[in-house]
Amino acid sequence: MRVIIYTGKGGVGKTSVAAATALKCAAKGYRTVVVSTDAAHSLSDSLEFQLSGEVQNIAKNLDGIEVDIQYELEHRWKEIQSYLSDFLASQGMDGVSAKEMAVFPGMELMSALFYVEEFHKDKAYDVVIMDTAPTADTMRLLAFPDTANWYFDRLFHMVRNVIRIARVTVGKIISTPLPTDKFLSDLESLRGRLKYVRDLLTDPEITSIRLVVNPERMVITETQRAYTYLCLYGYTVESLVINRILPEEVSDTYFSGKLEEQRRHLKTIDEAFSPLKTLKATLMPREVVGRVALEKLGDQLFGTSDPAEIYSKESPMKMYDEDGASVLAIKMPFPLDQKVELYMRKDDLVLQLGAFKKSIALPYALANKKILGADLESGWLKIRFEGEHVPKKKIRKKHGGRKAARKAS
């Protein structure tokens, strides 16, 4: 199964591009499903077909779904939602409010990820196209398996044991309901499922991220950040879609300044993102709504080529030995304007870049080794660990110790 995820700043045309790709894949004969993970769904409007929280057939070889949290609560999270509602009601909250408040953060993210898992296990589709929310929400979506795994590792088993003890002690004299074994079992099963999804999404043979950008300065800047964060989390960015390019043949003098500005931005994109595969589409004369308009967009982007083609399989993370040191290299395609912090927590390397934190489970060969330093070289953050024989002159030590903050710039 092939998974293609479109992401980018709000308003760049992700939904149109995702829908156009889905139609193109279906026309090629691939069993295709397009999934909207944006709470403010616009996929139905783009396709001029009313989608819902259930998978529906749109056309030959093409299905679609807009993930709906209320539908998910009723069909996927019954035990969890029921307990949370009962707990909140026991604290004096009325029934309707308790039901609304039982939507805990991350439910809609897990639902979207679990659809990918189910499609893969059922072998239901050849291609899954994901139309995501704007960049920040997509980052949370893709980081969710890592974040959830961290909490499961450190908190879940402790909480479960405390609850079991509470049932036979204070549970007999308090009115507040305690979680059932079924509730705890449902939570524990989430961990295995999230790991399955994580493996799918980080496999470059299966999943690719395609960044959608417009030739505008603020959009380019946010797209660069998104590219860096995606590499940090181990996702393969394989292509860039430059959407809404003003055609050069526009002769109206009103647009002369815009055309000149666009030429500069297109040059910036080429210099910044090269050698990433680039797909281009011009600004359409009318709103891109409906199958006819979307098919025209698909033709601009892909021509007669295969829209499900894998343009790159380069892993954003690799390990090797260099100059007597063990090196963990993470792709950082752009100069960093934020401090990068590195520190060890047991056998994990924790890397924080701005608001985003990544915990990397180190292989046994690196887990007990001291960090010697980190440098940004040729678009890669190279983290050096002590090796068997480390030539001191070639490794720059920075603030020794296993728990040290490093800065790469």
For 356-382, the pLDDT digits (tens) are 777 777 777 777 788 888 888 888 889
Range of lowest pLDDT (130-134, 304-308, 354-358):
354-358
Reply yes or no on whether the pLDDT at 402 is more than 60. Answer: no
Backbone phi and psi for residue 163, each to the nearest 5 degrees, phi listed first: -65, -40
Structure tokens belonging to residue 63: 């299905």
Q: What does the pLDDT read at residue 178?
A: 63
Question: Selecting from 2.60.40.790, 2.40.40.20, 2.60.40.10, 2.60.40.3880, what CATH number does the domain 317-394 have?
Answer: 2.60.40.790
In the numeric block, the tokens 């079924």 are attached to: 182
Report the chain's mean pLDDT, rounded to a whole number.
81
CA atoms within 13 A on the CB side of 49: 18
Q: What does the pLDDT read at residue 390?
A: 41
Residues 6+ apart with CB under 8 A from 399: 405, 406
Higher pLDDT, 122 or 186: 122
Distances in Å between the alpha carbon of 406 and those of 177, 185, 384?
46, 40, 12
Range of lowest pLDDT (19-23, 28-32, 155-159, 304-308):
155-159
Q: What does the pLDDT read at residue 404?
A: 40
Helix ranges (DSSP H) in 169-275: 181-201, 217-232, 256-273
Return the DSSP state at 174. -
Residues 6+ apart with CB under 8 A from 16: 46, 243, 288, 294, 297
CA atoms within 13 A on the CB side of 296: 11
Listed residue (93, 126, 174) closest to 3, CA to CA:
126
Spell out the domain ranges in the chain: 2-70+106-302, 317-394
Mean pLDDT of the region 41-65:
95
Higher pLDDT, 302 or 352: 302
Gyration radius of the chain over CA positions: 24
Reply yes or no on whether the pLDDT at 405 is more than 50. Answer: no
Residue type, 141: L
- Whole-prediction pTM: 0.77
Mean pLDDT of the region 105-113:
69
Q: Output the DSSP codes for 190-217.
A: HHHHHHHHHHHHT-TTTEEEEEEE-SSH
In percent, the amount of the chain with pLDDT more than 70 equals: 74
pLDDT winner (highest mean) among 27-31, 167-171, 218-222: 27-31
Identify whether the C-beta of residue 324 lies closer than 8 Å to the C-beta of residue 388.
Answer: yes
Mean pLDDT of the region 270-279:
91
Q: What does the pLDDT read at residue 395?
A: 41
CA distance 159 to 104: 17
Q: Output the DSSP codes for 66-133.
A: E--HHHHHHHT-HHHHHHHHHHHHHTT--HHHHHHHT--TTHHHHHHHHHHHHHHHHT--SEEEEEPP
Q: What does the pLDDT read at residue 90?
A: 57
Mean pLDDT of the region 288-305:
96
Q: What does the pLDDT read at residue 82?
A: 61
Reply yes or no on whether the pLDDT at 399 is more than 50. Answer: no
What is the pLDDT confidence band of residue 92, given thresholds at 50, 70 and 90?
low
Mean pLDDT of the region 310-321:
88
Fold of the domain spanning 2-70+106-302: Rossmann fold (3.40.50)
